[in-house]
Amino acid sequence: MAQELTKLAGGSFQRVFFANSGSEAIETAVKLAKKFQAARGRFGHSIAALENGYHGRSGIALALTGMNIYKTGLPGFSLYPGIVHLPVPRTGVVDLDELGRQLDARSQDDLLAVVAEPVLGVGGVIVPPDGFLRALRELCDARNALLIFDEIFTGLGRTGTTFAFERSGVRPDILVVGKPLGAGLPVGAVLTPDDLGSCWAPVDHSTTFGGNGALVGAVGKAVLGELTAGGLADASERAGNQLMDALRSAAPPDVEVRGQGLLIGLEWQSPDQAVAFRRQMMARGVLVGIGGQQRSVVRLTPPLNITAEDLKLLESTTLAVFDEVVRR
C-alpha cells in the first residue's frame, strides 16, 4: 500500500507513516513538521490553517479546524498555542502580499507550517480561486515553512484528479490522506520526502495499530489498484461535470452549485431550507452531508464508480427535492 501511494502521489514522496484515522494522520503531520523545524533551530509554534477548513475533532486537528461550530463549549481548542486561521478568497486575484500581512497580523511567531485542504469539503465545498494554492506555496517558501495538504476528503479521485492539488501544479511538502483509502476500514497516511521523514528517530513516533495490519494494507492496495485501473478519477470528473451542469440549469435562484468532480456543494441562502433539503433527500434514500459555517451547504458525494443509471436517478431526485423545498 505504501509503495502504491507514493507512486500515485509522484516522485517527491518516499516515506509513508500510517495512522488509524485522518485526524490522527493530521496530528502526525503537524508533529513531524515541528520536529523537522526544531532540528533546524526553529522552535516557534505558529502554524496557519484556513477559515472554514476541517481537519478532524481531536486535539491539534480540532484546533486547526476553522469552524466554530465544532468548538462550542471547548474554548481551549480555539486557543491552542500558535495556530492561526487565514481567510480564503472566493473569487478574484490572489494578493500574496496581502496574505502575508494577514498572517503577520494574526501570528506572534515565525511560521512553521501551513495546513490546507486544496478544496474545503466540510467547510462548504469551497473551491479557492486560481492562484491561491500557489500563493500558499510561495508564502511557505519565503518563510521557510512547510506546506501540508490535507487530502483526506479530496484525495484519491474525489475531485476529478487523483489528488486535488494536481490542478494547481502546486506540490506540498507533506501530504495527508485517509477516508477512501480503507474502503470503510480505519486508516490514515502521511506521505513525506526522505529528508523530512528521516528526521524522526525510531523512538520518536509510533502507534500500536497504525495502518491496522495486513487486512487494511491489502484493502488499501486493492483500492489504489481499482482507482488506477478503473479510471475512477476521470470518471469522477465526467460525472461531476454532467451532474453540476444539470443542477445549475434547474437550481432555484438562491442556490449556488459548485464543486470539483464528485465533490459537489449546494449552498442555500437559508440554512433552514438547506436542512429541509437534506432531510427530504435522506427520506428518498440519498445520503448527503451538510456543512459550512452556517450549515447551509449540502454536499453531494456519490461513489466514484456510480453508474449512468444511478447518476440520472440522483439528478432527478435532486431536482424533485429542489421543487419540493422551494414550494414549502
Q: Is 169 exposed, middle or buried (0-12, 13-18, 19+ CB in 10 A)?
A: exposed
What distance, in Å, lies between the first and last C-alpha atoms of the chain?
Answer: 50
E-strand ranges in the chain read: 15-19, 46-50, 83-86, 111-116, 146-150, 174-177, 188-192, 255-260, 263-268, 289-291, 297-300
Active site residue 245: no
Chain-centroid distance, C-alpha 178: 10
Could you give the CA distance from residue 160 to residue 166 in angstroms, rounded to a whole number? Answer: 10
Among residues 70, 179, 221, 245, the one annotated as catalytic is 179
Among residues 31, 34, 35, 54, the one annotated as catalytic is 54
**Residue 38 contacts residue 72 (beta carbons within 8 Å):** no
Could you give the CA distance from residue 194 to residue 285 in angstroms, rounded to a whole number? Answer: 46
Active site residue 54: yes
Tell me which residue of 43, 51, 37, 116 sits closest to 81, measured CA to CA: 43
Q: How many residues does the chain have?
A: 328
HEC profile for 94-122?
CCHHHHHHHHHHHCCCCEEEEEECCCECC
Cell of 145: 515553512
Please state at what angle helix 213-229 crosses helix 2-9, rounded to 10 degrees.
Answer: 30
Q: Is 53 exposed, middle or buried (0-12, 13-18, 19+ CB in 10 A)?
A: buried
Active site residue 150: yes
Sign of CA dihedral 50, 56, 60, 63: positive
Tell me which residue of 277, 243, 270 sits closest to 257, measured CA to CA: 243
Among residues 150, 234, 245, 312, the one annotated as catalytic is 150
- The residues that are catalytic are 54, 150, 179
